[in-house]
Each structure stands twice: as structure tokens, then as C-alpha cells.
Structure 1
Amino acid sequence: MHGKTALVLGATGGVGGVVAAALVARGWRVRGLARDVATASARWAGRGPIDWIAGDALERDAVIRAADGVSALVHAVNPPGYRHWDRLVLPMVENSIAAARRAGGARIVLPGTVYNFDPTQTPVLDEDSPQAPQTCKGRVRAEMERRLVGAAETGVPCLIVRAGDYFGPGARSSWFHQVMVRPGGGIRRIVDPNGAGIGHSWAYLPDFATAVVGLMELGDRLRPCERVQFEGLWDSDGSALPAAIRRAAGTQLPLHRFPWWLMRCLSPFGGFPREVAEIEPHWRHPVRFDNRRLVELLGAEPRTPLDEAVRASLRRGP
């Protein structure tokens, strides 16, 4: 295996793209798997060297070929358009496990979430918190982690880095960018999905990517299955992020509550309302990420000042 060569599945997406760029900046040789290499190359332009390989993460042979000789495989990929997510996500992670095994035991890196935990029972989340998902999405995420743990027991190490809701340049599919504000244009209001006084965890994506790459570079200092939490911004009463958005906009933007009641009413018809209604408890109950293991490994968690992070998030990004 090449010591600093990584395959990033999902390099054309938000999380995968920012992690891939952070790897490039640290001198890693990075490969990306893309169904349309020309489009991927155009979207990536200006972000440093990356080797694009034609293929689909749903095709095991394609992933195995792309992972030949790598030391790490970042699994930050979702099915196209998130269609059939519940049926396709687990075969995709199995493809990554098979590819990492064929590469001689490359470490699989998974950006983790909070959805595989019950927010009513986990006010502080650490590596040993019991996984008790209450939604379909959560059950799939828990099974992904279970399979990675099993793979680590048979010679395919893993690194799972859990974090809260993303914001920042590149975090296009996020509550911040799709619900709270619309970056890049004239911001007229803030739509707040939070309940009054309820804490919420946010992760500034560039800081998260820096932490992930720092952990990847520790090599054998990591456990065969390393699970850490990225604390990010702990907004203890839900007011810090809206206030930072107002400061960045330079005006007292009106604050509108997200219509959870409407999502609940429409959820029987499926689609976006059902998906959103399922995760409402994660906004109604505070969950903080215990980052002690991450700090033990890295010395400190990367932390961009909030106002600087929000200003960068509100600019048009890749």
C-alpha cells in the first residue's frame, strides 16, 4: 500500500469533496471515483491534483480497481439523488469493505452522524453510547457502523468520526444551506428549525475535514476500530448560530420558525416531509458530542471562530 494514497468515494459531494481537498492540501495522493469524469473534473477545478477514475460506488469491481494500493478509503458517498437510500447504502459500504480488504487492509474512514442514537436517551454522545435508532435512516446508519466494526475484527481497520449538522463552504445538502439561509444571494430571513432554548450541535465542515485528515495521518496510533466524536459548535440554547448569521449579514434579519407541524401533517404522503418529520426529535432534544478521544489523539480540535466560519458559509462555494 502507498502510505499517503486515499480513495475518496463521494469526492464530488459536500463532505467527501471537502475531505478530499484537505487530503490534497496535506500532500496525499487522492483518487476519486465518478460516473462522469468530465463533469467531476470541471466541478473540482482549482482545488488541487486528483486522479479521477470512471466508475460507480454501486459496482464492487469498480471500487476494487480504484482502491488498488491505497492506504485509506473515505466512504462519504450516497446513492445518486439519495434515491432508494435504504436499499443501496449497505451494499455500497460492503463494496468499500471488499475493496479495502483487497487493498491489503486499507483503513475505511466514515463520516458518522447522530441518527443512529436515540436523542431522548443520549444527551452526551461518546464512543460507548448505546445505539438505539428510532428511524429507518438511523437503523441503516447503525448497521453501517456494525459492519465496519465486524470488518475491523477481520483485518480491515476503520475510523468513524461522528459530528453534528454540517455548515460551511461545500455543505450544500445541509440544514444550514437548505433551510436556515440561502447563501450567495440577498438573505432576507433566517428559518430556525430549533425549538426555543434547545441546544444543538453543528460541525463547520472545513474544521471537520482537517480533523479527519489529522486522524488518518496517525496511522497505527489509531485502534483497529477507532470511533471519535467531533464536538464542533455546541449551541447551548440555539441562539448562537442565528446571531452569527445576523452579524455576518449586517442586519437584524427576521427569524421564522421551521414549520414542523406542516411536515408532520404531510408526512403520510412520503417524500421530504416524511424524511424531515422522522428526525424532528434530533431538534427537540439536545445531543452534545464528547470529543475527549479526538483531543487525546490530536491534542486539540480544529476550531475556526464562529463569525469567520459563518461568513465563509454565506459566500458562494463549490
Structure 2
Amino acid sequence: MNTHVVLGGNGSAGRATVAALIAKGLDVVSVSRTSAAPSGARSAVANLLDLAQTRAAVDRASVVYLAAGLPYSTKAWRAQWPVVMRNTIAAARDSGAHLVFLDNVYPYGQVDGPMTEQTPYRPTTGKGRLRLELIRMLQSATDGGFGATIVRSADFYGPGVATSVFNTFVIDNVVAGKPPVWMFDASHRHSMTFVPDLGEALALVGTTPAAQGRTWHAPTATPALTGEQLMLLATGGARPVRTMSRFTVRLGGLFVPTARETLELSYQNTSDYVFDSSAIERELGLVPTSYEEGIARSLKAARSGASAAAR
């Protein structure tokens, strides 16, 4: 059977990937630490830090999608991500499956100009160096005949994406009647990937043999807008919109570990952050959702969630 297994199927990117695969009429298994699964998918429970559980989850898979998330901590990533990657590679190889890995832009480091699939890896942070280590692990595995593809995303956002900074500080604030907030400097351009588009990209690459074995940038709207422009789209042009200073984030880091973890990547919000996805658009025909539509859909979902919670 042509079975597609999504590791991290209950996360934002995982759910979008599962939905895109189901829409293609495929047999889909959603793997997470709990038994819940998106509608239309079969559910499997596994701890990806355990090799035996990972092997059982991907048994007889034709394609495995590694879309899992880990706690946003360099210490946790250092301890857990290499184990997850080793286990996933071993399990996918045993099953004879192709592996599609969801990556981010951290390995590039700070880039002067648009980020493309040809941008060299020059990480400047602990998280970036760790992500590069994972890429090297994949490359070593493929040298031995194992098949793997990387799909890379910019900062992401979308309906119900709880782990998105944009959702948390812009979408949720607007729905709550508060001014939206941008990190550090809202005058720079900043690309963002709409999560449903990311799921479509992962599913398409996983089901298109000719697209496999290389790195792709997920479809991302152009032109990249400034933080201020993105906030004004969310408010319908209304002000005020606000910026959170480095001092405020540093102070918040004393109490909120996630805030502290963002500081090493502050360059992403103190210079232009432009993500080029023209290759996947041109070669595979994917069309990114505009920021206007993506933000409108995100606001609608957040308002619906807030209304349901109030009831």
C-alpha cells in the first residue's frame, strides 16, 4: 500500500501536510505522542526519541515526513534533535521509504539579500549550527543510497498556528482588541510562509518522484512586506502598531524561557529577511497565498476560536 506517514502529525505543519495528503486520496498515518489524528488519517502513537517506537510507526511506509517540533530551547534541541533524526533515518531506511524533512532558515545565518536554495550555510547561532548538523546527517545517509528531500520554510503563520510569533503577537492581539506587536524593528522586510501552503509543498514533493532528492523553498508570498505593513494588514490600516524592544525581550527572558531563546536570532528582525521560493513555483506550479488572504484567514480562525472559548 502507498502509505504516507507524517511524524509530528498533530503540529501545525504536520496537520497541514496530513490534510494535503488526504486531499490527494492517499493512505495517511499521523504520528504523535497522543492518539488524536486529523480527520481522515489513521493515528499512531510514538516517541521519536525511541528507535523501536519510531520503526513501528513508519513500518511499511512509502514516504515519511519529518514535521515534528521540539521544545524551543537550544539545550533541548542539542539533546533531542540528533536522536530524532538518527531514529527517523534508520526507521525510514528499514521501511524503504523516502524521507521528506521540514527545515527552517537557521542554517543560512544572516543573509544579505534574498535567501534561495543556493544560499550557503553560514550559521551564527547554536540553533543554526544544530540544524546544519541535521542536514549533514541527512547528506551522509543519502551518500549511502538513502532517499531524502528537504523542504525549507520561512517564519510561518496561519489559521490556528499556536507556535507562530506572528499569530501570537499580531493575530491574537488584534482579535483581543490590543495593538499588534513586532519584534525589534518593524521597518525591515520580512517573509512569512502560510502553513497551508507549506503542507501543500511537503505533500507535493512527497508524491512527485521527479521533485525528490533536492532542497526546496516552500511557496511564500512576494513581495516581502515590512513588519509594519504586515501589522497594518491585520488591523485594516488602524493604528497603533507597536514594536517590542530588545531590552523588553531580554527582560521578559528572565521569566519566559521562549523569549530568552529568541535573542540569538534577533538578526532576523533587525535586517531584511527575504525568502525566495521562485523555484518551487516555477518548477512544480505551486502558488503562494497572498499576505492579504493569509492574514484574513488567520484572523477569521482566531475569532472563531475566541468565540467558541467564550461560549
TM-score tier (shorter): 0.7 to 0.9
The equivalent residue for 2:17 is 19
Match of 2:151 in 1: 161
Distance 1:51 1:184 in 2: 36
Q: Please list the CA deviations of residues 93-120 of structure 1 after superposition, one character each: whole Å capped at 9, or x if unmatched.
A: 111100110011x12112221111121x
Deviates more, 1:69-78 or 1:174-183: 174-183
Name the structure 1 match of 2:99.
108
Change (3 A) 1:96 1:222: same
**Structure 2 gap ranges (5+):** 306-311
Match of 1:117 among 100, 108, 112: 108
The yes-or-no answer on 1:292 pairing with 2:278 is: yes
Counterparts in 2 of 1:48-197, with a 5 A limit?
48-79=39-70, 84-104=76-96, 106-119=97-110, 121-182=111-172, 185-193=175-183, 195-197=185-187
* 2:215 matches 1:227: yes
Distance 2:93 2:200 in 1: 26
3-state SS in 1 of match to 2:106: coil
C-alpha deviation, 1:89, in angstroms: 0.9
1:309 aligns with 2:300: no
Distance 2:298 2:28 in 1: 25
Q: What value does the CA root-mean-square deviation take over the aligned residues? A: 2.4
Higher helix share: 2
CA distance in 2, matches of 1:240, 1:81: 27
Check conservation: 1:123, 1:285, Cα contact below 8 A.
no
Alpha-carbon distance between aligned partners in 1 of 2:117 and 2:203, rounded to the nearest angstrom: 19
- In the other structure, the counterpart of 1:260 is 246
Identity fraction in percent: 26
How many correspondences in the alignment? 301
Q: How far has the Cα of 1:165 moved from its partner?
A: 0.9
TM-score by structure 2 length? 0.88
In structure 2, what residue type is equivalent to 1:192? W
**CA drift at 1:68:** 1.4
The worse-fitting range, judged by mean Cα deviation, of 108-117 and 79-88 is 79-88
CA distance in 2, matches of 1:36, 1:238: 36
Runs of 4 or more consecutive aligned structure 1 residues displaced over 4 Å after TM superposition: 80-83, 265-270
Give distance in 1, aligned partners of 2:256 and 2:290. Answer: 39
Q: Return the offset for 1:270.
A: 8.3
How far apart are residue 288 of structure 1 and its match? 2.1
**Distance change in 2, residues 1:223/1:73 (3 Å):** closer
Q: Residues 51 and 91 of structure 2 are in contact (CA less than 8 Å); yes or no, is this contact kept in structure 1?
A: yes
In the other structure, the counterpart of 1:246 is: 235
